[in-house]
Structure 1
Amino acid sequence: MPDRSSALHSQAVRGRGPSPARPRSIPIRTCVGCRTRERAETLLRVVAENGHVVPDPDRRLPGRGAWLHPETGCLDRAERRSAFSRALRVRAPLDATAVRLRIQDQQGSGSLPGPSSEESKVDQS
């Protein structure tokens, strides 16, 4: 009768037994604008809804998604190349106004600093 350790070893070799812990893989996606590969967490997922490209920041909307850097340059390139229609497999041209507004809102809120504490202490009289 074979001992238990050799049976466990043979199962592990064949891929059926306990396996060593592996690190989680990081999803990599391609930006439809600039065509560079990037970690999915840095890209914005978009989907097609009723002839419009809609941002999906929570990555929960149903349907086929496309990925885009949240930058106006990548959005411009994607629109110029008709990349959204191709990536989302839609025959009609898509309106990306909602995505543009989201990107501009993100860039606008992050790039404008608020007043510093010293500026607010200055007496204007």
Structure 2
Amino acid sequence: MVVQDGRLVADIRRRLPGRGAWLHPEPECLAKAERRRAFPRALRVPGVLDVAGVRQHLEKITVGMADRGTAPVRMDSRKQVDPS
């Protein structure tokens, strides 16, 4: 994600100029980042950012995955350890 004209934009090809931030491709992660006001802090911009474009992009991704019968891959930093 990068900021362009006060809007948060999904930088799919990772080529847009400016400071970037990462986001899991899940609507829940976007909602959590919005609640925590993480984007302005991570991107070092003042004020509130318009995230409508990113929300539409995530919805398009999740709808496409649902059409194909696949689910988004959840990236979890915790590892399962065999207790034996």
**One fold, TM greater than 0.5?**
yes
- Does residue 105 (structure 1) correspond to residue 28 (structure 2)? The answer is no
**TM-score (normalised: structure 2):** 0.78
More strand by share: 1
Query: Distance between the aligned counterparts of 2:60 and 2:13, measured in 1?
Result: 17
Q: For residue 28 of structure 2, what is the aligned residue in structure 1?
A: 73
Which structure would you say has the larger Rg? 1
SS class of match (2:9): strand
Q: Percent identity?
A: 51
What is the CA distance between 1:113 and its match in structure 2?
4.1
Task: Determine the C-alpha separation between the residues in 2 that align with 1:109 and 1:57.
Answer: 16
Within the candidate set 61, 75, 90, 2:16 is matched to: 61
Please, what TM-score do these two structures have when normalized by structure 1? Answer: 0.53
Contiguous gaps of at least 5 residues in structure 1: 1-45, 115-125
Equivalenced residue count is: 69
- CA drift of 1:110 comes to 1.2
**Aligned pair partner of 1:93 in 48, 60, 80:** 48
Q: Which structure has the higher relative contact order (CA within 8 Å, separation 6+)?
A: 2
Q: Kindly state the Cα deviation for residue 63 of structure 1 after the two structures are TM-superposed.
A: 0.3
Long gaps (5+) in structure 2:
70-84
Q: Which residue of 1 aligns with 2:77?
A: none
Q: CA RMSD in A?
A: 1.2
